[in-house]
Amino acid sequence: MMKHLLALHGGKPVRDHYLPYGKQSIDEDDIQAVINILKSDFITTGPTIKQFEDQMAAYVGAKYAVAFSSGTAALHGACFAAGISTDDEVITTSMTFAASSNCVLYQGGVPVFTDIESDTYNIDPALIKDKITNKTKAIIPVHFTGQPAELEEISKIAREYNLTVIEDAAHALGATYKKKKIGSISDMAMFSFHPVKHITTGEGGIITTNNEDYYQKLLQFRTHGITRHPNNLTENHGPWYYEMQFLGYNYRMTDIQAALGLSQLQKLDSFITKRKQYVAMYETELKDLPEIILPKQLNHVDSSWHLYIIQLNLSMLKVDRKEIFQALQQENIGVNVHYIPVHLQPYYQKLGYQKGICPHAEKLYESIITLPLFSQMSEQDANDVIHAVKKVINFYKK
């Protein structure tokens, strides 16, 4: 391999500095919004959180939104609100980050991994019914890379079997399914505000829902199971009185984070437009390379493009994915791989999940590479990625 790399990189790399696969976009307005909160009376749990929740709900078209300290915490809250408990089964995909199934484990439930569609990388609705048992409580579809899963089919199955649908929409803020915004369709939807996502609060997440019962449970769950609401108290000693009614968690977002989120939300659509611009460049310039396979885009959805993932047609290349990956890194292109299927992780293997249960996901993992994609990129950055991919692929093709 080293000989190949030396031959490939004997000249100058495409870039003289490293381009990450993802990065936040912070401007002076964002910085000032945070400074304003630091100078205010509230920096932890204050009015800015509710403002952020209200604007997020309005953006996606949901009645309610509840902010959390992370996307993972938000998913945990959704599992609690849905009543998932010991030995309850939840159907989800393995082609995702571990949080999508860890949230089920936190509640004592059992993740049931279902394979993906090979072309969209999303959970295959045709396989879901076979996974349903009398213990099944919910479905967690993941909108992988920002392209919505087939929610109409999933919702139909959920209604038939009285299951809750919790969308893991960490990748899909701003995406639409059949002209409806993600976050307004299912029982609950989670969005993440990690720095590589569409907008950031540093760390943070949110659940949107149209169900008032879920909304109230989520509010209480993120604050140790404590309520001060007079209508919910079992007794009332006075205006200071509160009750811890179940075991909740400290999953609160801060006003500092919410202020950053509010500022970022004003720019979300422009961020997504930039991402789509660079995706269009990738599609135009890379579509004629038979050595790679581009992601399929469905006509009835509008992806918000969190990630852009290519598959390598390994039968047409002289080397494996690892060498292609390292060669692109040597060109200062910060490629990544999303994801290692969750059921292959050592912890899940110890729980009894075995290789082979999701063959399409496992096969996809062996050939995928994530290209850089974020709103702060320039056209030159995108052209550098294209140049590097063509350079490396042409060097290694058979």
The active-site residue out of 197, 217, 274, 391 is 197
Find out whether 98 and 104 touch, Cβ atoms under 8 Å.
Answer: no
Q: At what angle do helices 321-330 and 379-396 cross, to 10 degrees?
A: 140
Tokens at residue 182, please?
Answer: 């993600």
3: annotated active-site residue: no
Per-residue CA distances from 192 to 72, 142, 277, 309, 345 (Å): 8, 12, 22, 19, 22
Radius of gyration for the chain, computed over Cα atoms and rounded to the nearest angstrom: 22
Q: At what angle do helices 28-38 and 255-265 cross, to 10 degrees?
A: 150
Q: Beta-carbon neighbour count of residue 3 at 10 Å?
A: 7
State the Cα–Cα distance between residues 71 and 204, nearest whole angstrom. Answer: 6
Q: Give strand pairing partners of 284.
A: none
State the Cα–Cα distance between residues 366 and 341, nearest whole angstrom. Answer: 10
Find out whether 333 and 8 touch, Cβ atoms under 8 Å.
Answer: no
Find out whether 398 and 357 touch, Cβ atoms under 8 Å.
Answer: no
Query: What burial class does residue 38 get, using C-beta atoms within 10 Å of its C-beta: 0-12 exposed, 13-18 middle, 19+ buried?
Result: exposed
Q: What are phi and psi of 27, to 5 degrees?
A: -120, -175
Which are the catalytic amino acids?
197
